[in-house]
Amino acid sequence: MKTPMRNIPIILAGLALLAAAPLTATPVTVQEVGIGANEIVTINSSTLGNNLAVYAGVVDLLVDGVPTQGFCIDPWHWSISGPQSYDIRPLAGAPKAPGPMDAATALKIEQLWQQFYNPAVANWNAQAAGLQIAIWELVDASVGSATFSLVSANDYNAGNMIAWVNSNPGAPAANLAAVVSLTHDSAGKSIGQDYVIPNVPDGGSTAVMLGLGLIGLGLVCRWARAA
């Protein structure tokens, strides 16, 4: 049995380095190392199965060795352990198949992050879970051909978050990017989860920029079977 892990969000200084800039695919090494604020929920996934108990919330990552946090944008692949090859890409260009999402959905995720990502709130575990669920539901609706659904009765306010962002198209947006797994299994099938993380201006010097200024405050999910 795998039990949930808790982790305290990591805050790294340097907001000025998160200014928007064009982002192309840049190779990085990504490793999932733990779970932050989260709740366990039950989901159905067209590729993973039904009635799966999974973490919904913040995931701790190392991006080129630098502590970073983000959300899962890929409810169709299990996370994998150890350092893995990834690309940093524009958020709208992720996740991998059955993605990517469209630009409008990517903007909504950035607006949700800006509005609801707040580790200081008393109910941060629940709010992080709601934000994660909202991201899954938005990405699934954008991709269209995939199937994801929440089985748990409690969506941790995800529905209200989506209603808010749909009602506030001009809301401020966070500057985010995606990291997309390049790993394949022995049969050539894509594996590994894709994540949304804070953006940095120069993907070519990712490790340096992250070390100086990345706010490692993202929401990520780590899949975990409860039994």
**Domain edges within the chain:** 15-213
pLDDT of residue 171: 98
pLDDT of residue 223: 52
Report field, pTM of the whole predicted structure over 0.75: yes
pLDDT of residue 215: 38
pLDDT of residue 7: 42
pLDDT of residue 146: 81
E strands in 64-210: 66-72, 84-90, 148-150, 176-181, 195-198
Closest by CA to 181, choosing from 68, 37, 102, 63, is: 63
What's the CA gap between 118 and 39, in Å, rounded? Answer: 16
The list of the chain residues with pLDDT below 70 reads 1-23, 200-227
200: amino acid identity, one letter: V
- List the structure tokens of 194: 């894709």
Whether residue 95 has a cis bond before it, omega within 30° of 0? yes
pLDDT of residue 144: 87
pLDDT of residue 202: 47
pLDDT of residue 145: 76
